[in-house]
Structure 1
């Protein structure tokens, strides 16, 4: 939490979403299983559905997006490096990323 002061606001929001999702993931999956399983009685499935709706909105996995660790950019992020195009390119040209080199053909 110390490094949050230097992060852009969207990166902080994404960090919080990831923490909330991680906290609620097991409960969410269990409720979804109960809700979709026809072997359970209708009342139990509707109860699971209402509990699922009461979970925080940040608990949805669709709210999590890859962001650049250096700049906080949300587009053009290479998931293998967790960096955006240009900062990654600069690091590759300075030979700071092992196992990569500039491509020329």
Structure 2
């Protein structure tokens, strides 16, 4: 089980990312629309992007296991880590998944 403080930190990052998602996307679109010669406008927009909170960037999000909060070895399709997925498949809790051996 992961530390609760780390799980809460990750939830906080998710909320910040959702809050600033539209702002970040619109600023990036503006940068793409500006012709290459006008560097001054690009710098201004880039400063606006830099002024957003660091934890609002989607790259800082990290997938965690839905049950245990484990940060490594996760399967995107299920949202579970490998050992939890294996236990659930062996107890037939995931329909359509076949058993596998390590």
With the length of structure 1 as denominator, give the TM-score of the two structures. Answer: 0.80
Q: How far apart are 1:42 and its partner, in Å?
A: 4.2
Q: What's the counterpart of residue 54 of structure 1?
A: 51
Name the Cα RMSD after superposition: 2.0
Aligned residue among 32, 35, 42 for 1:39: 35
Q: What's the counterpart of residue 4 of structure 1?
A: none
CA contact (8 A) 1:65 1:74 kept: yes
Structure 2 unmatched runs, 5+: none
Q: What's the counterpart of residue 73 of structure 2?
A: 76
Aligned residue among 66, 88, 92 for 1:91: 88
Alignment of 1:15-34 (within 5 A): 15-34=11-30
**How many residue pairs were aligned?**
98
Q: Which has the higher contact order (CA 8 A, sep 6+)?
A: 2
Q: How far apart are 1:43 and its partner, in Å?
A: 4.1
With the length of structure 2 as denominator, give the TM-score of the two structures. Answer: 0.82
Structure 1 unmatched runs, 5+: 1-6
CA distance in structure 2 between the partners assigned to 1:94 and 1:79 by the alignment? 20
CA contact (8 A) 1:35 1:46 kept: no
